Structure 1
Amino acid sequence: MAMDMRESGALSLVSGPSLREQARTVIRGQIITGQMQADQLYSVPRLATELGVSATPVREALLDLAREGLLEPVRNRGFRVVALSSNELKDIYAIRTMLEVPSIAEIARAGLAPAQLKQLRALAEVTKRAADAGNLIEFLESDRKFHVELIATLGNKPLADLVETLRDRVRLHGFKSGKSREYIAHSAAEHFQLLDLLAKRNEAGAVALMQKHMERSRHVWSEGRET
């Protein structure tokens, strides 16, 4: 399915049975890159016009994102991006650290099956291609999928779902750092490094890298809030 998810590209969607999913992906991308602001209202007709589709899949996508906690409905007016304070961001990163770092340690101890490694390396490749192209929205979407699928190898779906939700919540700040190309290039490269360490069951190395990976992310999203 063709859809332009570049930060400043056209937003038109192609026809098909998954317009709702495509709209949700594009709108989520606008939220996490800061293109949709918390101090503005967004109506279904306005977004439908921008996306070049009917109102129904857009309304469904907005309701999905509201259920995920990224948007809040404003009666008879539209939707607003949920605001996230600096303290809330700090708290969410603390929770993510408590969840994701020990999970990486557990994955390293248990090891990954060859099929799991193959799938994760394929996701890392997608993330790298997006980073190389400077496609921020596609990078953030594939980065999210990589980390959620990595945690999912533990077989704990509630944990994977919680990690996914928290990652989306962090990105309510909007990514506005002028160093986005540098950040996504580093992050994409670290995905491969992390998989190499996990393949060797190097628990200490994998934990240290994951901590560094998350700390860099925390600083970038904090910068986005402060600018």
Structure 2
Amino acid sequence: MTEQRNPVVGISGLAESRPTLKDEAVSIVRRALMSGDMQPGKIYSANALASQLGVSNSPVREAMMALSEKGLLEVVRNRGFRVVEMSPDDQREVYDLRLLIEVTAVGRVADRGVSTEDGQRLAAMVDATLAAARPDNMIDYLERDQEFHLSMVQLLGNTRMTKIIENLRDQSRVSGSYHLAERGLLVASAAEHGPILAALLSGDRNLVESLMTEHLSYSLP
């Protein structure tokens, strides 16, 4: 059976001398998944991607295996890796889990309180995300958005919870976060970070959980 060689638009080569080549490959492939450069349902060859990136096959294959373990790719025997297609039911399941874990985590942060230094750091992220909210700047926008949300959760100091939330967020995004741009919702979504942060800093758990619940609805089909 012939190998699938769908090129991935928007990714560039890696330097072979970097010490964490697998991690770099994970980061690049993940960004391609989140931005829609690697499309749901399509099969991609690790060898072809390695050639496109200008590196050996092994770290790229290891990276794609790691992403398959996170539910973002599926191994297709003798062909490569298929980008997971999230059905509406799949997206609803991920959304429900995020309500249970991510919204609750942010509510707990509100209960604990946020230091002035952390509040200023989060405020800078709010501004950076809003500034990045342009359709021609999706990768930067998605990274700034992810940084803000995970930084709130990280204030609990629970590494396992943060990793679970990060993976759930990635699963919801691989289903088509780029549709936010197509629907003209990037700025509206980014603008909600300000009120979320204000509620967090005021220690109003009920309000921040309500705002987060509404905010996460952008991930629904």
TM-score when normalising by structure 2 = 0.82
Residue number in structure 1 paired with 2:172: 170
What is aligned with 1:212? 214
SS state at 1:141 partner:
helix
Contact map agreement 2:199 2:207 (CA 8 A) in 1: yes
* Whole-Å separation in 2 of the counterparts to 1:10 and 1:80: 18
Identity over the aligned pairs, expressed in percent? Answer: 35
Aligned length: 213
Counterpart-to-counterpart distance in 2, 1:136 and 1:8: 13
Please give the residue correspondences for 1:68-107 in structure 2 after superposition, counting only pairs within 5 Å.
Answer: 68-107=70-109
AA at the equivalent of 2:108: E
Cα deviation, residue 151, structure 1? 1.2
Cα 1:38–1:196 shift into 2, 3 Å = closer
Q: CA deviation at 1:87?
A: 0.8
1:147 and 2:133 matched:
no
The answer to whether structure 1 residue 13 and structure 2 residue 1 are counterparts is no
Aligned pairs for 1:1-227 within 5 A: 9=10, 11-14=12-15, 16-132=18-134, 134-177=136-179, 179-180=181-182, 182-215=184-217, 217-219=218-220, 222=221
**Cα distance, 1:181 vs structure 2:** 7.8
Gaps of 5+ in 2: 1-7
Q: For 1:19 and 1:129, how far apart are their aligned partners in 2?
A: 31
Find the counterpart in structure 1 of residue 3 from structure 2. Answer: none
Gaps of 5+ in 1: 1-6, 223-227
| Cα shift at 1:111 | 0.9
In structure 1, C-alpha distance between the alignment counterparts of 2:11 and 2:93, rounded to whole Å = 35
Q: Distance in 1 between matches of 2:65 and 2:11?
A: 23
CA spacing shift, 1:218–1:178, aligned 2, 3 Å: closer
Alpha-carbon contact 1:134-1:181 (below 8 Å) kept? no
Q: Distance in 2 between matches of 1:23 and 1:129?
A: 27
Q: Are residues 13 and 184 of structure 1, via their aligned partners in 2, closer, same or farther at CA, if it must alter by over 3 Å?
A: farther
